[in-house]
Amino acid sequence: MIAVDTNILVYAHRHDSEFFHAASSCIGQLAQGGALWAIPWPCVHEFLAVVTNPQAINPPTPMDRAIDQFDAWRESPTLRFLAEPPGYWESLSGMLKAGKVTGPKIHDARIAAICKAHGVRELWTADRDFSRISGLRTRNPLLTN
C-alpha cells in the first residue's frame, strides 16, 4: 500500500502550485487504480490547516472548498485512512530514538510510525525530513512525473 503525505495533497489541491499537475496526476492514478492507497489522519488534519491558513497560502482555500476536496478523495473505493493502532507507541518511540528525532520532526515520525504499523510499503512525500526516520521507504513522485 502507498500512503500520501500532506505536501502531495496540498500540491494536488492548489491549482496555483508549480507542482499541481504532477501531484494531481499522482493522486488521480492512486484514486483510479485498483490497489489500496492511504492517507494518514494526521496528514488530513495538516492539509486542512495548511490550505486554509492565510499565513501559509495566499489566498487561502475556504474551509468549505478544502472539505469538498477531501470528500472528493474519499470517493476513491481503494482509499484507506490510517490512525494510530495498538503497538503504535512502541514503533514511534523506537523511530524517535533510532533517528535522534526531536522538535517538529516528531510529526513526521508520527506519520512514519502510523504507516509502518499499517504495512505501508512506501510513503509518497516531497519532504526530505523523512530521511532521518528509519523503517519506512519514501519516494518523491513529483520527481518522476
At 33-52, the pLDDT tens digits run 999 999 999 999 999 999 99
Q: Check: CB of residue 130 under 8 Å from CB of residue 138.
A: yes
> Which amino acid belongs to residue 33?
G
Q: Give pTM, 2 decimals.
A: 0.92
pLDDT of res. 91: 87
Counting as low any pLDDT under 50, the low residues of the chain are 145
Set out the domains of the chain in order of their start, with CATH numbers. 2-143 (3.40.50.1010)
Radius of gyration of the chain from its Cα atoms, rounded to whole angstroms:
15
Does an H or E element contain 28, and which?
Answer: helix 20-32
pLDDT of res. 144: 61
Please name which of 23, 25, 18, 31 lies closest in space to residue 5, comparing C-alpha atoms. 23
Query: 115-121: long-range contacts (C-beta < 8 A, 24 or more apart)?
Result: 115/3, 115/38, 115/40, 115/82, 116/91, 117/84, 117/85, 117/87, 117/88, 117/91, 118/1, 118/3, 118/38, 118/80, 118/82, 118/85, 119/1, 120/1, 120/2, 120/3, 120/38, 120/82, 121/1, 121/2
pLDDT of res. 132: 73
pLDDT of res. 134: 76
Q: Which residues 6+ apart lie within 8 Å of 49 measured at CB?
A: none
